[in-house]
Amino acid sequence: MPTITLNHSMMKRIQELNGAVHDGPILTDLLPDIGCPVESNNGDEIEIEVFPDRPDLLSHETMAKAIRAFIGVGSPENKVEVSKGDFCIEVDQSLGGIRPIIMGAIVRSVNTGNSPLERDLFIQSLMDHQEKLHMTLGRKRSFSSIGVHDLSRLSPPFRYVSVTKDFSFTPLASEKEMSISEVLSSHPKGMEYSSLMEGLDSFPIILDSNDMVISFPPVINGSHTTVNEDTTDFFIDVTGFDERSCEACLLLICLSLSELGGAVESVEITGWDGKVNTTPNFENRNHRVPNRLIEKILGVSLSDERISEAINRMGGKLIESRTTTEGSERQERWADCVVGEREHVFSMPRWRSDIMHPIDIVEDIAIGLGYGNLPEVLSSIHIDSTPLASANLHRRIRMSMRGVGLQEIQSLTLSNERDQFEKTNWNPVSKVTTISNPISVDHTLLRQFIFPSLMNILASNRHHELPQKVYELGEVVHDGENKSRMSWACAELGAGFSAAKGIVQSLLRDLGADNSSVSFREVMDGSGPWIVGRGAKVFIGDIEIGEFGEVSPDVIQSFGIRTPVHGGEFDVGIISDSISDPLQ
């Protein structure tokens, strides 16, 4: 979960700008009530944890606004005024298949501070807010990315176009021009986000009327638009693929700047499809919530006045409480508004992108009331759980493995090509899922086999006494999809192929396999980690479910093990399809 470090002096300045200085509870007492646990407090700064469902609390300014609403200080109005601006962005048709969504805004006359220190704190806070939104709402810039620019250095109107990899400009933190391909291959930000540009022949660029590059989204801005201590007027662009994420990012950046006295102006966007749109839109969203749902979840009957007070503390507003005339004729889903019952209509700020269902409003009401003020009653909802069919199979596999003396372990899904394929003599089952930016040579892909992980476990424990018998029932990834496999490995003296076959026969018996359908076929081609002539594949009818055998000395030595090993690997999904559950 993201954390934010609040500076006491900056929070105080924001409150002063909004005429909301108060003597209420200190932050460390108040923040947990809002749902933000305090991680540390050294007197000057407070580090807090912000849950993923509240991206609107990731900056000093938005946090200060939420606190004012929660304690009832200052204006309760949540709608940010947007005046009509003179700026526009023309989007080229080619962007429809590259990075289709773009939104923009102008914010003027932002009070960034009265001293170099205050202005420096503002710039750092703005950049931190931008990056936290990239990581959360933007999903590491794949859903949306934000550009914040010094408006005084730009010449409108703007154009959003596509260019080839040979197109050159001077990126941020660079003193020389670089081509798009050079940015992606050698610039730190370019290398970090180059995976978002994979498979593209054309790349998105935002230009001003002088053909100066404003931004190369989602990677990096142009160098001449850099925000500095003298910047008070800003141009914000947001591009991406997810409209809800893009809008929330734009609104939250604008909200932060407006909290510092900034005046927000609209930007007219002519999209790649020719449609004209104006951003930002700060109109609140309305939500309908059945009174039945509030009482059912919170376990208490609330008056309209208490509901209104609770939602006001969360920055919302109860518009009206009424008898439903539009909705379902009967309750088909638990949050449906049924004709004839009582419902509440709430207005919530548009930047609260986390509110997607009536239950989210109920949660806000609970926080506004205070969880300590809710009645201590047991839940009246009783739902019997039913295990998944796969859970029954996994339980029986584990019981069988434990029954023959094997100990269960859990290893990483990350592995590498050498362990997975070169050492074991196995070929990839399907397309290998690789890590774009691995931080270790040992973790470069998502494994397709579990057996190599067990061999590494045995190697790490080779100084302990024998026998060592381990198994794992875990996840592998084949062609980008998760699959379940089971593998075991036993390091012991005096045991070999016969011991491995005994484990297989015990497993098949415990799973209820029909002996007449089971067959063992020798691994003839020398593939896999087995000694030639001491490895076998297991079939149910004509379907291969796995293989086992005595591990080759070459394979054992490649993993750094010095004792004989036998083992096996089975595809749990194929076992499920091939062997009927005897209990059903």
Q: What is the mean pLDDT of residues 539-557?
A: 94
Determine whether 3 is exposed, middle or buried from the number of CB atoms within 10 Å of its CB (0-12, 13-18, 19+): middle
Residue 32 DSSP code: H
Q: How confident is the model at residue 20, as a pLDDT?
A: 67
- Whole-number percent of the chain with pLDDT over 90: 71
Strands (E), 271-310: 276-279, 285-290
All CATH 3.30.56.10 domain ranges of the chain, comma separated, are 3-71, 285-373
Would you say 474 and 410 are in contact if contact means Cβ atoms under 8 Å apart? yes
Q: What is the mean pLDDT of residues 448-462?
A: 94
Residues 6 or more apart in contact with residue 201 via CB below 8 angstroms:
164, 165
| CA angle at 204 for the pair 198 and 209, rounded to the nearest 5° | 165
Please give the mean pLDDT across all residues of the chain.
90
DSSP 473-533: EEEEEETTEEEEEEEEEEE-TT--HHHHHHHHHHHHHHHT--GGGEEEEE--S--SSEEEE
Q: How confident is the model at residue 14, as a pLDDT?
A: 81
Q: What is the mean pLDDT of residues 500-517?
A: 92
Would you say 297 and 357 are in contact if contact means Cβ atoms under 8 Å apart? no
Q: What is the mean pLDDT of residues 205-224?
A: 95
Q: How confident is the model at residue 5, as a pLDDT?
A: 82
389 has pLDDT over 90 = no
Of the two residues 5 and 384, the one the predictor is more confident about is 5
Q: How confident is the model at residue 506, as a pLDDT?
A: 94
> What is the β-pairing status of strands 158-163 and 82-91?
parallel
Residue 150 DSSP code: E
Report the C-alpha gap between 51 and 35 in whole angstroms. Answer: 8
Fold of 82-279: Phenylalanyl-tRNA Synthetase; Chain B, domain 3 (3.50.40)
76 has pLDDT over 70 = no
Q: If we measure between CA atoms, which residue out of 124, 10, 140, 119 comes closest to residue 63?
A: 10
201 has pLDDT over 90 = yes
Q: How confident is the model at residue 331, as a pLDDT?
A: 67
Can you say whether the dihedral through the CA atoms of 220, 223, 227, 232 is positive or negative? negative
Would you say 277 and 271 are in contact if contact means Cβ atoms under 8 Å apart? yes
Q: How confident is the model at residue 27, as a pLDDT?
A: 66
List own/partner pairs for 517-522 with CB under 8 A and 24 or more apart: 517/541
Residues 6 or more apart in contact with residue 463 via CB below 8 angstroms:
none
427 has pLDDT over 80 = yes
pLDDT tens digits, one per residue of 12-68: 788 777 776 655 556 667 777 787 888 888 777 888 888 888 899 999 999 889 888
Q: What is the mean pLDDT of residues 325-339?
A: 75
pLDDT band for position 72 (cuts 50, 70, 90): confident
pLDDT tens digits, one per residue of 83-110: 999 999 999 999 999 999 999 999 999 9
Q: Does domain 285-373 have CATH number 3.30.565.10?
A: no
Q: Does this model's pTM top 0.85?
A: no
All CATH 3.50.40.10 domain ranges of the chain, comma separated, are 82-279
Q: What is the mean pLDDT of residues 276-289?
A: 95
All CATH 3.30.930.10 domain ranges of the chain, comma separated, are 389-578
Q: What is the mean pLDDT of residues 191-208?
A: 94
Determine whether 259 is exposed, middle or buried from the number of CB atoms within 10 Å of its CB (0-12, 13-18, 19+): buried
165 has pLDDT over 60 = yes
Q: How confident is the model at residue 12, as a pLDDT?
A: 79
Q: How confident is the model at residue 127, as a pLDDT?
A: 95
pLDDT band for position 207 (cuts 50, 70, 90): very high
121 has pLDDT over 60 = yes
Tokens of 517: 């359908």
Residues 6 or more apart in contact with residue 444 via CB below 8 angstroms:
414, 415, 416, 417, 434, 435, 438
Q: How confident is the model at residue 53, as a pLDDT?
A: 84
Q: How confident is the model at residue 50, as a pLDDT?
A: 87
Q: Out of 3.20.20.70, 3.30.56.10, 3.40.50.10490, 3.40.50.11720, select the CATH number for domain 3-71.
A: 3.30.56.10
The CATH number of the structural domain formed by 389-578 is: 3.30.930.10
Report residue 225 CA to chain centroid gap.
Answer: 30
Q: How confident is the model at residue 170, as a pLDDT?
A: 95
pLDDT band for position 379 (cuts 50, 70, 90): low
Across the strands, what pairs with 89?
158, 269
Report the C-alpha gap between 11 and 86 in whole angstroms. Answer: 33
Q: What is the mean pLDDT of residues 424-437?
A: 91
Q: What are the phi and psi torsion angles at 546 (to 5°)?
A: 170, -170
pLDDT band for position 387 (cuts 50, 70, 90): confident
pLDDT band for position 440 (cuts 50, 70, 90): confident
Q: What are the phi and psi torsion angles at 446 (to 5°)?
A: -95, 130
| CA angle at 348 for the pair 342 and 349, rounded to the nearest 5° | 170
List own/partner pairs for 181-184 with CB under 8 A and 24 or more apart: 183/216, 183/219, 183/220, 184/219
